Amino acid sequence: MSRFRTYIPAYLFLLPSCLLFFCFMFLPIFKGVQLSFQKWTVAGYEWVGLANYQKIFADASFWKSLYITGVYALATVALGLFISLLVAFLIDPLSSKVQGFFKAAFYLPSVAPIVIVSILWGWLYNPSFGLFNYILDKFHFEPVLWLGDPNIALISIMIMTLAVGQGPNILILAASLGGVPKDYQEAARIDGANLIQEIVYIKIPMLKPTLTYLVVVNTVGSFQVFAPIYLMTSGGPNGSTKTIGFLIYENAFKKFDFGVASAQAVILLILVMIIAVIQFRSMSSDLEY
């Protein structure tokens, strides 16, 4: 008993934050699972077993959303990290003052609120007075319905994500690259390695732990994408940008079908966890910690 008394201060320090974590993060996850087996009727909640899940899996629009989300995640994560790596490699040899300027320039769009970024890109993409169509017109191309054409809208949102969402990736990769010991480079150069070999055989392997982390974090984030979709296209045109995150929102707050929305959220959570574990395992298999 007296031993327990020595732990009391530690628990008291933890209590306020853990209480909040529990109430507003854990409890909702459990409640979400519970809601996914229920249906809300006038009489209150009633248990419906797996009915919500059956409904979802039988629904073509859910599979379409899953496909759209997968495409969005794959493209934005792969291309985004490619762009970020390229920028990090280009920044690396520059002096720290110049580096600082570029880091700020690339990070600013990421720290700007998504609402404002969407407003600005809404202008760039505007079919009648947007900058992109003006430039196309200058070069005598046909105007493009960036956000209005079902075949292009998702690509437009991806382009926006790739342009403005890379700040953290660039900062993290640049910091990792700065941490690669210089004698490795020296040794490679003495052995007659060229720049490409140096990058492929020395720097990329050294960056592997960081890249693994970034692939997982970026994938988890992009699977849950919501705000850009809501703000730019509201899932349209023709459902072509309806990601799972938006589908959940629509089912819950437009159709008030909380049961189905919760079941979709549970599916999304499980999916994200599985993907994260697979990526982590497959990429860090040859790491030594």
Partner 1 sequence: MRKFNLPTIASVLLLTIWALLLLFPFYWMFLNAFKPTTSVIQTPPDLSWVNLTIGNFKKLTLEPISWAWTFNSFLVAISGMIGNVILCSMAGYAFAKKKFPGKRLIFWFIISIMMTSTQVIMVPLFILIRDMGLLNTYFGLILPILVSPFAVFLTKQFMQTIPGELISSAKMDGCSEWRIFYSIILPISKPVLAIVAIFGFITQWNDFLWPLLATESRDMRTLQVGLASMQLQNVDYGLVLAGSVWTMIPVIVLFVSFQRFFVRGITIGAVKG
Regarding 213 and contact with partner 1 (CB under 8 A), the answer is: yes
What does the alpha-carbon distance between residue 178 and residue 93 come to, in Å, rounded to a whole number? 9
* Nearest CB to partner 1, comparing residues 191 and 289: 289
Cα angle 75, 76, 81; round to 5:
105
C-beta separation of 72 from 222 below 8 A: yes
Q: Pick from 50, 78, 105, 287 the residue near partner 1 by CB under 8 A.
A: 105
Regarding 67 and contact with partner 1 (CB under 8 A), the answer is: no
Regarding 242 and contact with partner 1 (CB under 8 A), the answer is: no
Regarding 233 and contact with partner 1 (CB under 8 A), the answer is: no
Q: Pick from 136, 193, 202, 227 the residue near partner 1 by CB under 8 A.
A: 227
* Nearest CB to partner 1, comparing residues 24 and 191: 24
- Residues in contact with partner 1, counted by CB under 8 A, come to a total of 93
Q: How far is the CB of 215 from partner 1 (least distance, A)?
A: 12
Q: How far is the CB of 17 from partner 1 (least distance, A)?
A: 4
Q: Pick from 48, 79, 114, 155 the residue near partner 1 by CB under 8 A.
A: 114
Judged by DSSP in three states, 75 sits in helix
Quickly list DSSP for 259-277.
HHHHHHHHHHHHHHHHHHH
* Nearest CB to partner 1, comparing residues 85 and 164: 164
Q: Which residues have CB under 8 Å from 105's CB, separation 6+?
A: none
Regarding 134 and contact with partner 1 (CB under 8 A), the answer is: yes
What does the alpha-carbon distance between residue 177 and residue 170 come to, in Å, rounded to a whole number? 10
Regarding 87 and contact with partner 1 (CB under 8 A), the answer is: yes
Q: How far is the CB of 185 from partner 1 (least distance, A)?
A: 15
> What are the distances in angstroms from CA 138 to CA 8, 39, 164?
72, 56, 25
Give residues 156-185 in contact with partner 1 (rule: CB under 8 A). 163-164, 167-168, 171-172, 175-176, 179
Q: How far is the CB of 156 from partner 1 (least distance, A)?
A: 14
Regarding 285 and contact with partner 1 (CB under 8 A), the answer is: no
Q: Pick from 1, 9, 190, 191 the residue near partner 1 by CB under 8 A.
A: 9
Whose CA is closest to 72, among 134, 174, 162, 170? 162
Q: Pick from 37, 62, 72, 121 the residue near partner 1 by CB under 8 A.
A: 121
* Nearest CB to partner 1, comparing residues 155 and 220: 220
Q: Which residues partner with 166 through β-bridges?
A: none
Residues 45-64 as x/- pattern, contact with partner 1 by CB under 8 A: --------------------
Regarding 274 and contact with partner 1 (CB under 8 A), the answer is: no
What does the alpha-carbon distance between residue 157 and residue 232 come to, in Å, rounded to a whole number? 8
What does the alpha-carbon distance between residue 182 and residue 172 come to, in Å, rounded to a whole number? 18
Regarding 74 and contact with partner 1 (CB under 8 A), the answer is: no
Read off the amino acid at residue 155: I
* Nearest CB to partner 1, comparing residues 222 and 240: 222
SS3 assignment for 161-228: HHHHCCHHHHHHHHHHHHCCCHHHHHHHHHCCCCHHHHHHHHHHHHHHHHHHHHHHHHHHHHHCCCHH
